[in-house]
Structures are given as C-alpha cells and as structure tokens.
Amino acid sequence: MKHLSQYDPAWGSVKLGQSSLTLAKYGCTTSGLSMLTDYFGGYVSPPEIAHNVANYTKDGLVVWEKLKFKTMKFDGRERKLDKAKVALYLKDPNKAVLLNVNDGAHWVVGLRKTLLGDSYVVLDPWGGVKVDANKKYRNVVGAAYFSRK
C-alpha cells in the first residue's frame, strides 16, 4: 500500500469538493481513502477523490455513502469503536478500516493491533508514516469499514 501524506506538495492545495478546505489541512480522510484504493488494487489519487464533488458536503465533509470506487466498497461507519469488528476487518485481506482518532478530529488507516493488543499500528496521513494510534493520539473513537468488490 502506498504511504501518502496529505501534505504532499503535489496536492496539498487541492480543495475538498466545492469547499474551501484543502487536502493539506483537512485531507486525512481523503488521503486514507486513497491509500485503501491502492491496497485494493485500484489506486485513485487524493486529488482525484477530492475533485469528485459528490464525495463531499459543501463544507468539505466526506459523504460516506456516495463514495464509489472500482475495487472497494463502503461497508459502514461507526461513531463508537467496536473493537471486535475492527479486529475482524484487520485480519481479513479482503477488508480494510479507517480509524477515527484524537476525539474524532483525525482519520488513519488501520494496519494491525499492537503486540500487546491495546492499540493499533496505523498508517497516518499526517506524515505518511506508521505510528501507534494510542501513543500518538488520545484515543480511537470510531471507524469506517471497507471491503473488496
């Protein structure tokens, strides 16, 4: 899977849909979605996702149900973390999960549970690097689930 940063100068200034929000400042979800499209074998770049106005509200929030990709589908979003469901998605190579961290302010790509199992190793669009979710952020509060088409 490509490790992408929302701050990449190639797309950081791209706006989310018709909003005034940019990928650099508010593109964690979009960058995470792009990484997942690569994971599922149908890479769509962050700017391609951002330019599709159907993917966002006028305020730049992702409209999950409107996301359409060739190789993956949106399975649902939970605002309260279901650890058992996350574990199932992380174990299945035909599934993937974005985790909502930092009291809901940021999205990261879930990779696996940590060795002690109390946190998650994630790919963070903030810098395009792997981190421990609980060490870097206060908490994991929710998730968005995807599966291979």
- Rounded to the nearest angstrom, the gap between the alpha carbon of residue 124 and the centroid of all alpha carbons in its chain is 9
pLDDT the model gives residue 29: 98
Q: What is the pLDDT of residue 117?
A: 78
pTM: 0.97
| Residue 32, pLDDT above cutoff 90 | yes
- What's the half-sphere exposure (Cβ side, CA atoms, 13 Å) at 29? 24
The domain ranges of the chain are: 23-148
Tell me how far apart the alpha carbons of residues 67 and 13 are, in angstroms, rounded to a whole number.
22
Per-residue confidence at 116, pLDDT binned at 50, 70, 90?
Answer: confident
Q: Where are the beta strands (DSSP E) in the chain?
A: 72-78, 95-101, 106-113, 120-124, 129-132, 140-148
Residue 57 clears pLDDT 90, i.e. is over it:
yes
Q: What is the CATH number of domain 23-148?
A: 3.90.70.10
Q: Check residue 118 and give its pLDDT.
A: 84
Q: Could you read off the pLDDT of 87-115 as tens digits, one per residue?
A: 999 999 999 999 999 999 999 999 999 98
- Determine phi and psi for 87, rounding to 5 degrees: -60, -40
Tokens 């929030």 correspond to 61
Average pLDDT over residues 49-70: 98
Q: What does pLDDT average to over the chain? A: 97
Rounded Cα distance, 61 and 67, in Å: 12
**pLDDT for the residue numbered 5:** 98
